[in-house]
């Protein structure tokens, strides 16, 4: 049975502090990650996912959306895999 993990764009946003919702180290984070960036990274990483119109509880007013990813390993491993697949911002 596949487990599902929820990912929000703020998890990868280097402009945020960890207390504000960033979940990856600054070395893996990118500035201004959007839902489209997250979708591209998930496709590049070869992961199955769906997008939902929900928002991170701490950033409910932004209405960024979220991705629900089929993943059996730890969420930390998923975060690092997706962060590695994000394109650098120019």
- Largest separation between any pair of C-alpha atoms in the chain: 40
Return d(Cα 86, Cα 58) in angstroms, integer.
23
Burial of 1 (0-12, 13-18, 19+ CB in 10 A): exposed
Distance, CA of 36 to CA of 13 (rounded, Å):
13
Domain that holds residue 60: 4-85
Number of domains in the chain: 1
Strand partners, 67: 7, 51
Strands 66-70 and 4-7: antiparallel
Residue 78 is part of a domain; what is its CATH number?
3.30.56.30
Question: Whole-model pTM?
Answer: 0.89
Full pLDDT tens readout for the chain, 90 residues: 479 999 999 999 999 999 988 999 999 999 989 999 999 999 999 999 999 999 888 877 778 899 999 999 999 999 999 999 998 765
Task: Tell me if 90 is assigned to some domain.
Answer: no
């Amino acid at each position: 049975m596949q487990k599902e993990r929820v990912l929000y764009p703020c998890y990868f946003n280097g402009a945020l502090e960890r207390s504000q919702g960033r979940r990856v180290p600054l070395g893996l984070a990118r500035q201004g990650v959007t839902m489209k960036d997250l979708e591209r990274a998930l496709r590049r990483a070869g992961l199955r996912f769906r997008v939902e119109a929900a928002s991170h509880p701490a950033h409910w007013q932004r209405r960024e959306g979220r991705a629900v990813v089929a993943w059996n390993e730890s969420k930390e491993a998923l975060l690092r895999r997706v962060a590695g697949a994000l394109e650098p911002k120019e």
